[in-house]
Structure 1
Amino acid sequence: MRAIVIGSGFGGLAAAIRLAAAGHETTVLEKQDRIGGRAYLYELDGFRFDGGPTVITAPFMFEELFALAGERLEDHVQLVPLDPFYRAFDRDGTHFDFHADPVRMQQEVAERSPADERGYTRLRGRVSRIFDAFYPYTERPMMQLHVMMRMLPFLLRHRAALGVQRLVDGCIRDPFLRRALAFHPLLIGGHPARTPALYSLIVEFERRWGVHYAVGGTAAIVDALGALLQRLGGRIECGVAVERILVRSGRAVGVRLEDGTERDADVVVSNADPGYTYDRLLGPASGLAGLRLRTARPSMSLHVLYLGADRTWPDTPLAHHNLMLSGDSRRVLGRVFARSHRRGTRREPLTADDLFLYVHLPTRTDPSVAPEGCEAMYVLVAAPPLDVGEEISDAAARRVRDLVVGALDEQYLPGLAGHLVVEHAIGPEHFRDVLNTPRGAAFSLQPTLFQSGWFRPHNRSPQVEGLYLVGAGTHPGAGIPAVLASGKIAADLIGHRPAGRSRRPTARAHR
């Protein structure tokens, strides 16, 4: 069987590897000059910057892919466990660490707010039960409504339909801890109050299997997966853009490239955003699915700054992964997740209090990603998705940059502004125009209750036979483990086998 995979993000690579391992003739077509999709690599004057995801959890899901070729992940990628997982900062610069060890985590809560120690124990138990109830569904197709309905008793019993913020607030009193312990939906583009608590299984992934960093950056994993696919006989073609999925008699039969050439295939797997897949790659063949996606609620977007400095800051309080939660969270989230602003009006100018920042300092763990004696950093700034036809002005992008550099310079990395030697930035237009995500939504669809499970774009198209979808916008959702799972589900569907569960290793001893 001939399979064409459109796009080389983690979902596309996972599906392609599984198809190649099953003996299918598999070709990945990537429009950019290197593989990775959102996990692109920028190499600038000796600095290596991961373009997108930096938090690695569930290493066993990568191990599964290498095992298909009789190989071991550790022979190709060096994963380093991180502790703390994250460091969250309050307005006054005090911080809270997320630890791998539950005893240390409990102590961290008690030191911040003794009155919340018991509540945190209760919260941890609820999250663990949600994980046990819903994890199996993350590796199964969700194409029949009755499968979703079977989840309903679990949703009600475990309060998993409630927002993550409400779950946390029901156990925790301290305002800063409430923000810190409910931040995880932001990692998948969701509002903490609108993202159902079933997504808190992300927290349990981290607790059971840790948070890791790949030496050389996330791109080291991407490159290793690409090489694995080629060893299995698969092909990767970069700089090749797909213009249309070819459909005859209701069945996908190949693709037409932007240069006009056509490629035949028995199945097509799209790792492009579902909205782009149905609206642009299928067009009239998209049917009801395309119509639904045009009215779907997008995730937030991002401004991403890649900064290289010609010195290091050994005494900085910043850790490897950092969250700046100092702003007015209601104002920040209201701005980021507003449905739209009135056409013809300008958004309010940003202030420092409007920033939700995630700061990644890989050189804390891996000096090899920067020239000797230098610091590499990557900063995410939450932003609203674009309205139709909206553009971010150069002045607005520059203001974001200046606010970020100023905030880091003032409180965490003194003198940063004068030591920057490399700068690069992408914004909402990059996600829209380069990564082909409607409205520049950095994580595709927002993970609301009615955009999850059966309500999310299916991994097998209901409109076009032989078309399969993987990636952040499909079931089970955004985040590397979920995207890898989408590749597994699609490959299993193509093989006409029920999607089985992962071979999960025993969790950490401190589970």
Structure 2
Amino acid sequence: MAAAARLAVAGHGVTVFERDETYGGAVRRFERDGFRFDTGPGLLPLPAVYRDLFIKTGKQPLEDCVELVQVDPAVRHLFADGTRVDVPNASRAGTVEAVEAALGGGTGERWAQFLNRAREAWDRARRPLLEEPLWEDWRVLGERDPYPALRRSGLLRKRPPTFAEAMRHELADPRLIALVESSVLAYGLDPRTTPASAAVLPYMEQAFGTWYVRGGVRELARAVYERCVQRRVGFEFGKEVVRIVEKDGRAAGVELADGTVHEAAHVVAGADPQPLTDHPLHTPGQDAVLDTARVRPGRRTVLLALRGAREDGAAHRTVVHAPDRKAELDALAGGFGPGVTPTVTVLRPDDPALRPDDGHESVVLSAVGQEAGDPGDFTDRMVTAAERAVPGLRERLLWHEVRQHGPVPHPALAGGDARFLYPSNTTRLPGLHQVGGWSHPGGGLPHAGMSGALVAGLIVEGPDFRGSQ
């Protein structure tokens, strides 16, 4: 939809064919008995991407279409030893103070120094990995990890360190390491095999803040959809595209499941278009990158309808850390067996739109991974972990719903031999482009939105387009 709105403003006639009966992709909502839940992303980082979209596509700015609220604290971290850290929203000094007060031992200063290095990695990687089309020599981004890790003797002198190696060396305190690694783990990435450039993930949150869309993030999807409609973008729901039509060596339209064909000068795919054509779409090596990304563990979401009001002082977002970090990371690939508890994120928005009345509360739990045995047992372990963040949770529980999702695409990362990049927005079939989390610059609401801006630029300005300014 971000690409559609921009292309319509540039003068193109645009039609969106959507397999499902509604817009928004993974940004969905579940409703029951007066309760509402976001089943996709629950928070909006880096809202500047959508502010830019609304400025470029109409007179109403984003804040006139949705209500954005800064979440404060940005996140509460609960550790197995009982330690609690409340991280202020977009406050470097406040976070340094909070970390030192909770963890002591110079952790605040180590956090500050880490942020300095993470900012340097962000400055180096921001443009090629967020604001520009993927370079033709994209493998170079895999060879150069922009994170300026502190060097030590031995193995780390011979190769760039992984994220886990760098954090263990630089942060020392296991709780501070877990705090930082939670931003990586949220995408199903194992810090032990992820490049140190993943430091940009916690940096973005710290530097640009965390925002909530009043009414739920589904309201952002509604606003983008309405902007598309205002720009005369057509929508065809319940229409599955089964084939990319090719003519004279380029994409010339789409064929739907009912056999109808719609011609077009350009085709933009919001999912991997490779199954829809026999034409090889990616440069050698990029298909392998995409396949590697998709074998990561999925995400489980548990929607909780609770009786009783949200207590004073409750945090919007709480990360309840696993008691055994190594066991959790080992289970990412093979499944969570009995006794292994995942890190659980608890979202408790104080939003009347999400509950039937002030005597109830809607809560969303999420964790990365899947059970090795009974599915109900994994859900139960998630609820048990969440009890540390939600007083009296089991006694208040009216009902719950479980959603199992596939792998969550992460933002593109430099380093790691290019295994953490995604296929470019252009394909080897002229006229066919791709957007969304499984293409450059990767997953997350801001990055998916930026992919729309990149594709619109490539179509409007041509192959010489060098990215946003």
Counterpart residue number, 2:393: 416
Q: Which one of the candidate residues 384, 397, 411 is aligned to 1:406? A: 384
Counterpart residue number, 1:30: 18
Counterpart residue number, 1:435: none
Q: Which amino acid aligns with 2:349?
A: P
Deviation readout 1:214-251 (Å, 9 max, x if unpaired): 10010111100000011011112222221222223431
Distance (whole Å) between structure 1 residues aligned to residue 10 and residue 435 of structure 2? 18
Distance (whole Å) between structure 1 residues aligned to residue 132 and residue 412 of structure 2? 20
Deviation at 1:360, TM superposition (A): 0.9
Q: Residues 390-401 of structure 1 correspond to what in structure 2 (within 5 A)?
A: 396-401=374-379
CA separation of 1:314/1:295 partners in 2, compared to 1, >3 Å: closer, same or farther?
Answer: closer
Deviation at 1:282, TM superposition (A): 2.2
Q: Is 2:96–2:109's contact at 8 Å kept on the other side of the alignment?
A: no
Over the matched positions of the two proteins, sequence identity in percent amounts to: 26
Distance (whole Å) between structure 2 residues aligned to residue 53 and residue 161 of structure 1? 32
Counterpart residue number, 1:370: 355
Deviation at 1:295, TM superposition (A): 4.6
Counterpart residue number, 2:305: 308
Q: Is 1:187–1:479's contact at 8 Å kept on the other side of the alignment?
A: no
Deviation at 1:46, TM superposition (A): 1.4
Counterpart residue number, 1:344: none
Larger mean Cα displacement after TM superposition, 418-427 or 40-49:
418-427
Q: Residues 316-327 of structure 1 correspond to what in structure 2 (within 5 A)?
A: 318-327=314-323
Name the SS of the counterpart of 1:75 in structure 2. Answer: helix
Deviation readout 1:23-66 (Å, 9 max, x if unpaired): 11111122222211111111222111111112212222111111
Q: Residues 71-470 of structure 1 correspond to what in structure 2 (within 5 A)?
A: 71-99=60-88, 100-111=90-101, 112-137=103-128, 138-145=130-137, 149=140, 155=146, 162-272=161-271, 274=272, 277-278=273-274, 280-283=275-278, 285-286=280-281, 292=288, 295-298=291-294, 299-314=296-311, 318-338=314-334, 349-351=337-339, 353-363=340-350, 366-372=351-357, 373-384=359-370, 396-409=374-387, 411-427=388-404, 431=405, 440-443=406-409, 449-451=416-418, 455-462=421-428, 464-470=429-435
CA separation of 1:415/1:208 partners in 2, compared to 1, >3 Å: closer, same or farther?
Answer: closer
Q: Which amino acid aligns with 2:126?
A: Y
TM-score by length of 1: 0.81
Q: Runs of 5+ in structure 1 lacking a partner? A: 1-12, 339-346, 385-391, 432-439, 503-511
Name the SS of the counterpart of 2:126 in structure 1. Answer: helix
Q: Which amino acid aligns with 1:144?
A: E
CA separation of 1:153/1:105 partners in 2, compared to 1, >3 Å: closer, same or farther?
Answer: same
CA separation of 1:161/1:217 partners in 2, compared to 1, >3 Å: closer, same or farther?
Answer: farther
Counterpart residue number, 1:476: 441
Aligned length: 451
Q: Which amino acid aligns with 2:124?
A: A
CA separation of 1:203/1:131 partners in 2, compared to 1, >3 Å: closer, same or farther?
Answer: same
Distance (whole Å) between structure 1 residues aligned to residue 91 and residue 202 of structure 2? 13
Name the SS of the counterpart of 1:354 in structure 2. Answer: coil
- Across the aligned residues of Structure 1 and Structure 2, the Cα RMSD in angstroms comes to 2.7
Larger mean Cα displacement after TM superposition, 214-223 or 328-337:
328-337
Q: Which amino acid aligns with 1:441?
A: P
Question: Structure 1 stretches (4+) deviating beyond 4 angstroms?
Answer: 150-154, 156-161, 283-291, 444-448
Distance (whole Å) between structure 1 residues aligned to residue 207 and residue 252 of structure 2? 42
